[in-house]
């Protein structure tokens, strides 16, 4: 048993590396999008096709795996095993990263989108395998703990991604230049390809436990007969769309005169703070996974988010970025802490509270400009930080034997990150970038509706929603 626990611990340490790179690459898109817009002379809508392609790859990858399993009547991922699923996914991402080099050199934006798509296909396979892998590496009771740990590492990747990419592309964070050489782009994607390949080899040679599921393959669309799942699929679509679109369009927002007139090299600290906001919320949400006294848990709920905030400030400070403007953001974090105490780990109440916080943040941003507007839109990350586990828990509750199938449908709805950012970009082209932030405001409003509606549906099914625990991210 001791050897098995040691093996599981080593496996988990290996596994969380892929969670880091999902966050690293996704957050780095916020830096790469403004570059592509300027370099290829794109409209705001066209620049958002990067996210359309990237998150669309998640959907297409999941859909291909689902259809192939339906046709063959075999759970393909279960057959090859979670470990090899991650290895194959990493190798696919290597191909996409290497393809980016000739794509940029060619000057064809379409080839760049294809390269992003290939990277995302690999990420889709990695994510489909890695999440259940993390759950089974130990006792069921601590599964949420491991997912929260992995989610925290993912958030660390989203924090460091914009900073590191900015250094590679521009030479430093917040430099006065917006010029990017083809060589720096090549260096970035050669580095990513090398890291993906190294991690794939590490996984392949590592003595990881062979883990597969004993669950019987369920064909058909049986899970879709549950209204909580259907509404939850829309909620995941909207949630991921809101989380992505706030930062994807932020580069254009910050370049506007009303919000500072920043150049692309000066945007990364704000993108870093946005993704860091999700880290703040997720680290705070992970506290409940540990067995602590109520007093200690309350203390940690207050202390942990500010420790995470301190790390964000430190990372930016070490890169030479002035962080004085960010100090006032501590007030936004205090609102997050209050939300955690009121929500009390109840999915419906959590979603209502943080959905309202998101609505208010977007409304304040829409009604103001300058520093207040910037920080208001960035605080949308705090609102988004704890939504995934609450939505997921409510959507799959009561599905019984269709739980796994329902989970697969929910993962497909990451597609929201592909559709909503270009939609906001189109609105920005037709009006202006500031007004376009009405899109995430409407999205947060739907999430409040989802929480209230599904809460009532589950109560009618005889389910005590107050004791439905939120799953890890």
pLDDT in tens, 56-65: 888 888 888 8
CA distance readout (Å), 113 to 52, 54, 221? 9, 8, 32
Q: What is the pLDDT of residues 375-426, one digit of tens each?
A: 999 999 999 988 887 888 888 888 777 776 777 788 788 889 889 999 999 9
Most distant CA pair in the chain, distance: 63
| Percent of the chain topping pLDDT 70 | 86
The burial of 401, by beta-carbon neighbours within 10 Å (0-12 exposed, 13-18 middle, 19 or more buried), is given as exposed
- What is the second-level CATH architecture of the domain 2-206+216-467? Up-down Bundle (1.20)
Within 13 Å and on the Cβ side, how many CA atoms surround 104? Answer: 22
**CA–CA separation, 105 and 97 (whole Å):** 13
- Would the pLDDT of 447 be above 90? yes
Which pLDDT score, from 0 to 100, does residue 38 have? 80
Q: Counting Cβ atoms within 10 Å, is residue 400 exposed (0-12), middle (13-18) or buried (19+)?
A: exposed
Residue 232 has pLDDT above 90, yes or no: yes
Domain boundaries, the chain: 2-206+216-467
Winning range, highest mean pLDDT, from 171-185, 222-236, 433-447? 433-447
Q: Is the pLDDT of residue 227 over 50?
A: yes
pLDDT tens, 143-156? 555 666 677 788 78
Q: How large is the average pLDDT for residues 124-142?
A: 70
Q: In 344-437, which ranges are continuous DSSP H helix? A: 347-367, 370-378, 380-384, 387-396, 403-412, 416-430
Q: Is the dihedral of CA 318, 319, 320, 321 positive or negative?
A: negative
Helix, strand counts (H, E) of the chain: 20, 0
Does the structure show a pLDDT above 70 at 140?
no
The Cα 140–Cα 138 span in angstroms is 7
- pLDDT bin (cut points 50, 70, 90) of residue 47 is confident
Backbone angles phi, psi at 399, to 5 degrees: -80, -15
Which of 411, 357, 349 minimizes the C-alpha distance to 385? 357
Query: Higher model confidence: residue 356 or residue 323?
Result: 356
pLDDT of amino acid 157: 81
- Min mean pLDDT across 19-28, 267-276, 332-341 is at 19-28
Whether residue 461 has pLDDT greater than 70 = yes
**What pLDDT score was predicted for residue 176?**
45
Given this model, what pLDDT does residue 209 score? 66
Average pLDDT, the chain: 83
Q: Over the stretch 166-213, which tens digit does the pLDDT of each residue have?
A: 777 766 555 444 566 677 788 888 988 998 898 889 888 877 666 555
pTM for the full model?
Answer: 0.79
């Amino acid at each position: 048993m001791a050897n098995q626990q040691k093996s599981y611990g080593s496996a988990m340490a290996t596994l969380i590396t892929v969670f880091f790179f999902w966050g690293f690459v996704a957050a780095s898109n916020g830096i790469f999008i403004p570059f592509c817009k300027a370099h290829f002379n794109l409209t705001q809508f066209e620049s958002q096709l990067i996210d359309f392609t990237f998150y669309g790859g998640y959907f297409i990858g999941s859909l291909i795996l689902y259809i192939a399993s339906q046709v063959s009547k075999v759970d393909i991922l279960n057959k090859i095993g979670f470990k090899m699923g991650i290895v194959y996914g990493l190798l696919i991402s290597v191909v996409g990263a290497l393809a980016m080099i000739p794509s940029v050199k060619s000057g064809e934006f379409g080839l760049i989108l294809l390269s992003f798509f290939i990277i995302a296909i690999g990420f889709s396979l990695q994510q489909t395998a890695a999440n259940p892998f993390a759950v089974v590496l130990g006792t069921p009771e601590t599964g949420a703990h491991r997912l929260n740990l992995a989610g925290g590492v993912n958030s660390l990747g989203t924090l460091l991604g914009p900073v590191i990419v900015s250094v590679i592309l521009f030479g430093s964070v917040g430099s006065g230049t917006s010029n990017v050489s083809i060589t720096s782009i090549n260096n970035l994607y050669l580095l990513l390809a090398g890291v993906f390949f190294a991690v794939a080899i590490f996984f392949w040679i590592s003595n990881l436990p062979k883990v597969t599921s004993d669950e019987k393959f369920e064909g058909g669309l049986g899970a879709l007969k549950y209204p909580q799942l259907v509404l939850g699929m829309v909620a995941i679509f909207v949630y991921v769309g809101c989380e992505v679109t706030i930062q994807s369009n932020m580069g254009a927002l910050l370049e506007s005169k009303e919000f500072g007139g920043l150049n692309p090299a000066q945007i990364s600290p704000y993108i870093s703070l946005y993704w860091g906001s999700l880290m703040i919320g997720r680290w705070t949400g992970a506290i409940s996974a540990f067995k602590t006294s109520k007093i200690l848990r309350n203390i940690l709920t207050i202390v942990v988010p500010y420790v995470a905030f301190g790390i964000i400030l430190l990372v930016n400070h070490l890169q030479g970025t002035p962080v004085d403007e960010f100090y006032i953001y501590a007030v936004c974090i205090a609102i997050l802490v209050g939300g955690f105490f009121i929500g009390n780990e109840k999915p419906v109440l959590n979603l209502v509270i943080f959905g309202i916080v998101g609505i208010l943040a977007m409304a304040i941003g829409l009604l103001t400009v300058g520093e207040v507007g910037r920080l208001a839109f960035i605080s949308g990350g705090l609102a988004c930080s704890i939504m995934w586990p609450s939505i997921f828990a409510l959507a799959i509750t009561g599905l019984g034997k269709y739980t796994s199938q329902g989970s697969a449908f929910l993962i497909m709805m990451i597609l929201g990150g592909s559709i909503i950012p270009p939609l906001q970009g189109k609105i920005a082209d037709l009006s202006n970038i500031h007004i376009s932030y009405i899109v995430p405001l409407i999205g947060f409003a739907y999430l409040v509706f989802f929480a209230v509606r599904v809460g009532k549906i589950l109560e009618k099914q005889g389910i005590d929603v107050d004791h439905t625990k939120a799953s890890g991210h």
